[in-house]
Structure 1
Amino acid sequence: MALLNFRKKDVPATGGNDPRVEDFLKDFSIEVMPRTAEKVEDFRAILPEGTRVYIAHIEGTPIEDMVATAARLNEDGFKVMPHFPARIIKDRATLADWIARYQGEADVRQGLLLAGGVTTPHGDFSDSMQLMETGLFDAAGFERLHVAGHPEGNRDIDIDGGRINVDAALKWKNDFQTRTDAKMAIATQFAFEAAPIIEWANGLQAAGITLPIHIGIAGPAKLQTLIKFAIACGVGPSLKVLQKRAMDVTKLLLPYEPTEVVAELAAYKAAHPDFNISHVHFFPLGGIKTNATWAQNNGGAHAQPAKAAS
């Protein structure tokens, strides 16, 4: 109840930039795929200088396309963080080859390690902990390793029909940071409601998991598009926010924007400085340019692109 009262009282009405939102959006990151990146003529015209850009590695995407996208983004001055999905990596030799390619051709020094969305592993790895245990990222001098987080659970994580204790896995990863020189953080799946996110993040902190959280936020998109992705990605309770919106014919055809959830999280962060959500990570489900424009309109001076659009 206290959280609900806080949200009603302290989140400003829409209209005009909120300095808490601007601060919350500072140094946001964004996710692309090789095929979506191809549609962007110049990332410098839409993203702030030095933005961290994750490159999602979807099953079936050739490593050559991933590395080429990384090289392009690195050349333009962005911090490149490719995905390393454990379940589509055949073996240790393949992982070593990917790391060498990324470093040799794109100077990549950071990565998001995750299990990946496929049900059956293609080879020797089934989770991100096994990737970390190879020692290959340490040996290659990776400066930053992010791991996946799921504020509303992850239906893909189970063994023999029994759910893994996801918090225990995060505790293992939290402890791993003491054994490596790499900086670590949790990058999460997107959600559409602030309250479950806040409860989850505070629960991790209470459990002694101190890794900073880069919270996943879905960028502006058509409502039907978001519902499709939310169901496919296993988004849980906050899906009802979209479903309720879909029942309102006056909003059905309007694009969804993350204004409300971001404002609520920003207000909570401003009131609780020790809150362990440190950054926003965007999933541009309605398009990279559309997401970047929303960030520019809401993020103030530090969300403006590296150079003026031509």
Structure 2
Amino acid sequence: MTSLLDPPDRDGAAPRADRRAVLARVLRAATYEVLPFPSAADKVLAHVPTGTGLSVTTTEAKGLDPTVELAVRLTGHGYRVAPHLAARLVRDRAHLADLTDRLTDAGVRALFVVGGDAAEPVGRYPDALALLTELHEIAGDRFDRIGIGGYPEGHGGIADELIAGALTAKAPYATQIVTQLCFDPAATVRWARRIAAAGVRLPVRVGVPGAVSRQKLIRVSAGLGLGQSARFLRKQQGMLRRFFLPGGYRPDRVLDGIAPALAAGDTGLAGIHVFTFNDLESTETWRRRLLERLDR
């Protein structure tokens, strides 16, 4: 099958060339997700240009502090960073206000708000919507970018209709949606059209896997803590299956599949968010090489 990443031939050259140009633009504006491990800052500084937007995840085992500390540190080096705020790890209004002050005092202007995977909330916020509504009261317009999660293939623990209703309720408090990993481009496009038809018109960044090895994925899982690791592996079973298929997977296949919808501009798909699993050198090398191919 002909790929958009291959040079366009004469038949249909103009449309394909247009889609390649859109894909190159999206790659240049890609954002990266990193885990708040001790080595993360050094890896970012060594391999990621400061113009690349970043998000920093939160792990249940480590809590919010490592996420906030890494976000503050990277912001000090000139990066645009959106730390994850997991609602179930925030105790109360005072805790939320303190987190907001720490971040905005350091120059952080973006957040990604999720419910989080903790089995029970530590305080008054059982889900992202509860935190978003109170964050709006506390922070006002101090954050100019607020992301929320999207689930093109659903959520293993939440019914589809509840997810759809929650997304509609959260949308007024957000500026963009970032999807979970989805290896089926057609499913992502169908989902994007469905939420747009339901009135959710936020731009969508599609979550795609970086150039991460099977061994790296296993090491990352081991560093998350026992309960968090088990949930992580359950959520990444689609990725693990692809590692063991002949030829494994290539992240550019996902991009190739969503490129026509990105070019059409009628789905809300507006960019990509790369799950690096802290394999930042390989991911940035992959991105640069792919851009070189597209620019030729």
TM-score bin, normalised by smaller chain: 0.7 to 0.9
**Is residue 41–residue 74 contact of structure 2 (8 Å, CA) maintained in 1?**
no
Deviation at 1:302, TM superposition (A): 12
Report the equivalent of 2:187: 196
CA distance in 1, matches of 2:288, 2:36: 23
Residues 90-101 of structure 1 mapped to structure 2, 5 A cutoff: 90-101=91-102
Report the equivalent of 1:307: none
**Is residue 188–residue 213 contact of structure 1 (8 Å, CA) maintained in 2?**
yes
**Is residue 24–residue 266 contact of structure 1 (8 Å, CA) maintained in 2?**
no
Report the equivalent of 1:287: 279
Match of 1:24 among 12, 23, 26: 26
Report the equivalent of 1:89: 90
CA distance in 1, matches of 2:113, 2:281: 26
Report the equivalent of 2:251: 258
> In structure 1, the residue corresponding to 2:167 is in which secondary structure?
helix
CA distance in 2, matches of 1:51, 1:302: 19
CA distance in 2, matches of 1:24, 1:13: 13
**Is residue 21–residue 298 contact of structure 1 (8 Å, CA) maintained in 2?**
no
Residues 245 and 63 of structure 1: CA distance in aligned 2, closer, same or farther (over 3 Å):
closer
**Is residue 103–residue 109 contact of structure 1 (8 Å, CA) maintained in 2?**
yes
Report the equivalent of 1:151: 152
Amino acid at match of 1:167: A
Q: CA RMSD in A?
A: 3.1
Residue by residue over 1:239-269, the C-alpha shift from the partner in whole angstroms, topping out at 9 and shown as x without a partner, is: 3x86366243xx36xxx42011111211332
Report the equivalent of 2:211: 220
**Is residue 187–residue 216 contact of structure 1 (8 Å, CA) maintained in 2?**
yes
Tell which deviates more after alignment, 49-58 or 218-227.
218-227
**Is residue 222–residue 286 contact of structure 1 (8 Å, CA) maintained in 2?**
no
> In structure 2, the residue corresponding to 1:67 is in which secondary structure?
helix
Residues 186 and 192 of structure 1: CA distance in aligned 2, closer, same or farther (over 3 Å):
same
CA distance in 2, matches of 1:244, 1:132: 35
Deviation at 1:131, TM superposition (A): 0.8
Residues 245 and 90 of structure 1: CA distance in aligned 2, closer, same or farther (over 3 Å):
closer
> Are positions 1:185 and 2:176 aligned together?
yes
CA distance in 2, matches of 1:77, 1:70: 11
Amino acid at match of 1:29: T
Report the equivalent of 1:3: none
> Are positions 1:273 and 2:265 aligned together?
yes
> In structure 1, the residue corresponding to 2:169 is in which secondary structure?
helix
Gaps of 5+ in 2: 9-16, 222-228
Residues 224 and 195 of structure 1: CA distance in aligned 2, closer, same or farther (over 3 Å):
farther
CA distance in 2, matches of 1:246, 1:117: 27
**Is residue 34–residue 66 contact of structure 1 (8 Å, CA) maintained in 2?**
yes
Report the equivalent of 2:244: 246
Q: Name the count of aligned residue pairs.
A: 274
Report the equivalent of 2:224: none
> Are positions 1:123 and 2:135 aligned together?
no
Report the equivalent of 2:76: 75
Amino acid at match of 1:129: L
Amino acid at match of 1:213: V
Residue by residue over 1:121-148, the C-alpha shift from the partner in whole angstroms, topping out at 9 and shown as x without a partner, is: 1111111111111134543621111111
Gaps of 5+ in 1: 1-7, 178-182, 304-310
Residues 58 and 94 of structure 1: CA distance in aligned 2, closer, same or farther (over 3 Å):
same
CA distance in 1, matches of 2:167, 2:186: 21
CA distance in 2, matches of 1:137, 1:291: 37
**Is residue 37–residue 69 contact of structure 1 (8 Å, CA) maintained in 2?**
no
Report the equivalent of 1:168: 165
CA distance in 2, matches of 1:244, 1:207: 32
Residues 149 and 116 of structure 1: CA distance in aligned 2, closer, same or farther (over 3 Å):
same
**Is residue 67–residue 84 contact of structure 2 (8 Å, CA) maintained in 1?**
no
> In structure 1, the residue corresponding to 2:277 is in which secondary structure?
coil
CA distance in 2, matches of 1:65, 1:87: 16
Deviation at 1:48, TM superposition (A): 3.4
Amino acid at match of 1:165: L
**Is residue 119–residue 156 contact of structure 1 (8 Å, CA) maintained in 2?**
no
Deviation at 1:36, TM superposition (A): 5.8
> In structure 2, the residue corresponding to 1:165 is in which secondary structure?
helix
**Is residue 184–residue 211 contact of structure 1 (8 Å, CA) maintained in 2?**
yes
**Is residue 219–residue 258 contact of structure 1 (8 Å, CA) maintained in 2?**
yes
